């Protein structure tokens, strides 16, 4: 097992921020992880597991062991007439897996096409888009438990999935290293989710009346490509903040002051669009040196080249302050700040 020293993480985070990892190891199998777990470097601190670095803002050098998860493999665990249960290695690329499922006519994650990142990180913030969340198809995952020094299997009830949240981001942060994720997908009679965003509009424009899961994925990809910057071209980590959820009384107060405020019903109250709130404060398209707020979607902070994580964080904090000042709402970062 090769543990490298002082490795640049610039190519391992989609913001493209330059920081160094004091120790760095890439794992391609569970056996390699188990061997790594026996080393002093692993045991002397809290390692940081890295997928594609598409939900992280590095604000300083990482004085910890960084473990790059490159465990690959896709295998069918079980099939019935309606359901296929598939296990994915945690280092597989999420979007490639979506396309793999479509190729095999396995339904359930087509609305999550083009989300960057790895399979192993998907449960961490319960990725979601266009009316679907990973938890909707989740069966279980396998992970190395740093507390018990053994592999464990966790099911949905163990993970406490919520909006961009799970135990892996909260109560069990840094405890588990996810090596495999198992999803329950539909093998026939796919339940399509077409009512979110502009999916129906795109399908109508293409004159598709009876869409397949491939059509839905393509519609989602078309919409996403028109709105979100490609990290390969412009450094970013997608939505920087979560959409805030407020209680009914707060919503009524905001609505009377801002009648056109967009809102969506949500389990915990009323969900507001963080992008709209930020845009109202005048940040959309803002640029200061290499740091900016994307001109097509105010929720996305961008690195035009050479930005430090500290400067991007400073911009995020200024945005938070102005939203707090104007609307009395505290925006919470969706991106992991390190
Ligand atoms: C352009 C763009 C669009 C995006 N759109 C969306 C979207 O629509 N919906 C959405 O939900 N997200 C979106 N994201 C955010 C991001 O793609 C997801 O959060 C993705 O799941 C992160 O995967 P990753 O492999 O890059 O994780 P990383 O950024 O590498 O890691 C994220 C967190 O997970 C932990 N982690 C990673 N792998 C493991 C593992 N194997 N075991 C334990 N912990 C682990 C890390 O330690 C870190 O805390 C977007 C990002 C970008 C850049």
Q: What is the 3-state secondary structure (H, E, C) of 6-51?
A: EEECHHHCCCCCCCEEEEEEEECCHHHHHHHCCCHHHHCCCCEEEC
Q: Which of 155, 190, 183 is nearest to 76 (CA)?
A: 183
Please state the φ and ψ torsions of residue 62, each to the nearest 5 degrees.
-100, 110
Which pLDDT does position 24 carry in this prediction?
A: 98
Domain with CATH 3.90.78.10 in the chain: 235-337
Distance CA(160)–CA(121), nearest Å, equals 15
If one counts every other C-beta atom within 10 angstroms of the C-beta of residue 245, the result is: 16
Which pLDDT does position 317 carry in this prediction?
A: 98
Ranges of residues in the chain whose predicted pLDDT is under 50: none
Which pLDDT does position 266 carry in this prediction?
A: 85
Task: Given CATH 3.30.43.10, say whether it is the number of domain 4-69.
Answer: yes
Between helix 213-227 and helix 94-103 the angle, nearest 10°, is: 150
Distance CA(12)–CA(257), nearest Å, equals 43
Give me the catalytic one of 54, 166, 186, 239: 239
Q: Which of 73, 74, 86, 177 is nearest to 124 (CA)?
A: 177
Residue 230 CA: which ligand 1 atom is closest? 1
Question: Which residue lies with its CA nearest to atom 37 of ligand 1?
Answer: 121
149 CA distance to ligand 1 middle (Å) = 25
Of the CATH numbers 3.40.50.1970, 3.40.30.10, 3.40.50.620, 3.30.465.10, which one belongs to the domain with range 74-227? 3.30.465.10
Give me the catalytic one of 85, 164, 166, 186: 164
Domain with CATH 3.30.465.10 in the chain: 74-227
Which pLDDT does position 265 carry in this prediction?
A: 86
Residue 55 CA: which ligand 1 atom is closest? 29
Provide the CATH number for the domain formed by 235-337 in this structure. 3.90.78.10
Distance CA(86)–CA(278), nearest Å, equals 40
Which pLDDT does position 82 carry in this prediction?
A: 94
Q: Which of 158, 129, 141, 59 is nearest to 92 (CA)?
A: 141
Distance CA(98)–CA(108), nearest Å, equals 9
Which pLDDT does position 267 carry in this prediction?
A: 80
Which pLDDT does position 197 carry in this prediction?
A: 77
The residues that bridge with 68 in the sheet, in sequence order, are 26, 50
pTM attached to this predicted model: 0.94
Alpha-helix runs per DSSP H in the chain: 30-36, 40-43, 94-103, 156-159, 199-205, 213-227, 248-257, 274-280, 309-327
Domain with CATH 3.30.43.10 in the chain: 4-69
Out of 15, 51, 143, mutate this one to test ligand 1's pocket (max ligand atoms within 8 Å of CB): namely 51
């Amino acid at each position: 097992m090769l543990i490298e020293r002082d490795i640049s993480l610039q190519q391992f985070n989609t913001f493209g921020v330059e920081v160094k990892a004091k120790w760095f190891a890439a794992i391609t199998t569970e056996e390699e992880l188990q061997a790594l777990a026996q080393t002093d470097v692993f045991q002397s601190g809290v390692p940081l597991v890295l997928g594609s670095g598409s939900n992280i803002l590095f604000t300083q050098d990482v004085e910890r062991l960084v473990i790059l998860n490159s465990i690959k493999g896709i295998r069918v665990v079980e099939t019935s007439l309606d359901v296929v249960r598939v296990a994915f290695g945690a280092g597989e690329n999420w979007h490639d897996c979506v396309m793999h499922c479509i190729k095999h006519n396995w339904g359930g994650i087509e609305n999550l096409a083009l989300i960057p990142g790895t399979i192993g990180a998907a449960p961490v913030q319960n990725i979601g888009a266009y009316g679907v969340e990973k938890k909707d198809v989740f069966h279980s995952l396998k992970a190395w438990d740093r507390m018990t020094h053994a592999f464990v299997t966790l099911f949905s009830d163990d993970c406490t999935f919520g909006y961009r949240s799970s135990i892996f981001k909260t109560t069990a942060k840094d405890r588990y290293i996810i090596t495999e994720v198992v999803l329950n997908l539909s093998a026939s009679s796919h339940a399509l989710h077409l009512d979110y965003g502009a999916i129906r509009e795109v399908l109508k424009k293409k004159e598709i009346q009876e869409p397949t899961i491939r059509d839905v994925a393509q519609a989602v990809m078309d919409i996403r490509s028109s709105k979100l910057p490609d990290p390969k071209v412009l450094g970013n980590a997608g939505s920087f903040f979560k959409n805030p959820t407020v209680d009914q009384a707060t919503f009524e107060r905001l609505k009377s002051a801002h009648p056109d405020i967009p809102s969506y019903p949500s389990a915990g109250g009323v969900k507001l669009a963080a992008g709209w709130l930020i845009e109202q404060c005048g940040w959309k398209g803002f640029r200061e040196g290499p740091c900016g707020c994307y001109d097509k979607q105010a929720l996305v902070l961008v690195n035009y080249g050479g930005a430090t994580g500290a400067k991007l964080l400073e911009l995020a904090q200024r945005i938070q302050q102005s939203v707090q000042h104007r609307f009395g709402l505290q925006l919470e970062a969706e991106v992991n700040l390190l």
